[in-house]
Structure 1
């Protein structure tokens, strides 16, 4: 039995180590590698491997999000083996699913056990069971659904509630916060600091590019490197507003976007 597999890890040494360990086993064909969740999703969709060795903690989207993104695929699902440094609590969730896990640093003995399990599962060819068990895993590791988030702003003497999706960015100046939508800027009501606003929007697609600017990552039209290690953003509003990512936040900004 030949097993076609893809290795997904953002660190090249980790991919090289796993490739070396797998070379000791007959019938394991490494058909590609990926260094991010985004790249992994594209390669899994294209190549349809039997097995994916999947890192959990990666810049931007994590390993669980790879599975979520591919959940609607009608083709036979690959078997996922997580490479993880997670604690025992998370491992209990893995053990309840059809996937397996290997702890970093990798062990040849543990890898052999994993491959034996994968060979057995592939031989069973029960894709519906795989889908069911992957959903069990995602249900256990997914964060709880947050309460409805709204931002209160003032317009013509009345209070208006905005959804996060309506906000392009927020700015702080002269001791007050302005909420910028695609066509106007409105003063916020009830929240007095950017720290509090950032906390209120935690879990949404917002990122603090500067101590006085909080942007909706989904509302960035384009961006490019700028002077002194900064990045320049062009926002998707009618003004094509330009904002700068401070040099100290560029690395985290790129990680958020999976770059």
Structure 2
């Protein structure tokens, strides 16, 4: 006997919800337990019903589809399988192909919906729920790494989506061990010969990379070059100070003082005061 998938449809357009519900009625393993007209309703319905599957519109007033997923993660709710439903064209939406179980363009025809259902059933058989959730977490990380409105505008204009290229984890190898250091815990990094000292809330890690390589890995809106041998996380900066002799320095939340080179002074001052 085929397992029934409890399903929620989320779309701010009543006709879009109705049309998808009618097409899904042809699939015996789908049981629609709720239909939601906005993101807030969706979050509450997912809390209540704990569905197996959600067809989720991306662009909705108030809370959009990205923010719905973000809320589920923040609240620690079980992550359903997600199929994005969107009016954006295939070229633009391709960026999300690797994150969701699938995506559908409005209006979804029977053949394309059947293909999506096949992927959903394959996903169930592969038992990769954890992998699916990780992909959705990565999607949220990517989206919040950029401005959500910018991404939605890129989609609407049929442009390639410029998801953030910056990782939220910095892998650091120490002997035979590999540590995955959350980037948001790094307060500053300084050079020590051929190595980098990565200072975090928990302690210091040693990494064999160049400053240039690290700058390519870290989001420049958060990590600022303050000296030729130092990168700081602006979220850990308490004060930007000047001395009588004309030198500048940063005071970190830990009390640590870091010198700011004259060549980086203006850029650092602008970044930490934004």
TM range (shorter): 0.5 to 0.7
Q: Equivalent residues in 2 for 1:1-259 (5 A)?
A: 1-142=3-144, 144=146
Which runs of no fewer than 5 residues in structure 1 stay unpaired? 149-259
Q: Distance in 2 between matches of 1:106 and 1:128?
A: 28
Q: Which runs of 5+ in 2 are unaligned?
A: 148-219, 223-274
Q: Distance in 2 between matches of 1:51 and 1:9?
A: 14
Alpha-carbon offset, residue 21 of structure 1: 0.4
- Aligned residues of 1:99 and 1:134 also touching (Cα < 8 A): no
CA contact (8 A) 1:5 1:31 kept: yes
Change (3 A) 1:90 1:99: farther
The answer to whether the 8 Å contact 2:101/2:123 transfers is: no
Q: Distance in 2 between matches of 1:136 and 1:13?
A: 31
CA RMSD of aligned residues (A): 2.1
Question: Secondary structure of 1:43's partner?
Answer: helix
Is the 8 Å Cα contact of residues 54 and 82 (structure 1) preserved in structure 2?
A: yes
CA contact (8 A) 1:80 1:100 kept: yes
Q: Summarize deviations over 1:46-68 as a string: whole Å, max 9, x none.
A: 11000001111111111111000
- Aligned equivalents of 2:78 and 2:60: distance in 1? 25
- For 2:12 and 2:77, the matched residues in 1 are separated by 26
Q: Secondary structure at the match of 2:56?
A: strand
Q: Residue 89 and residue 135 in structure 1: after superposition, are their counterparts in 2 closer, same or farther (change >3 A)?
A: farther
Deviations 1:160-209 (A, max 9, x none): xxxxxxxxxxxxxxxxxxxxxxxxxxxxxxxxxxxxxxxxxxxxxxxxxx
Change (3 A) 1:57 1:96: same
Matched residue SS, 2:120: helix
Question: For the residues of structure 2 that align with 1:129 and 1:141, how far apart are their CA atoms?
Answer: 18
- The number of residue pairs the alignment matches comes to 148
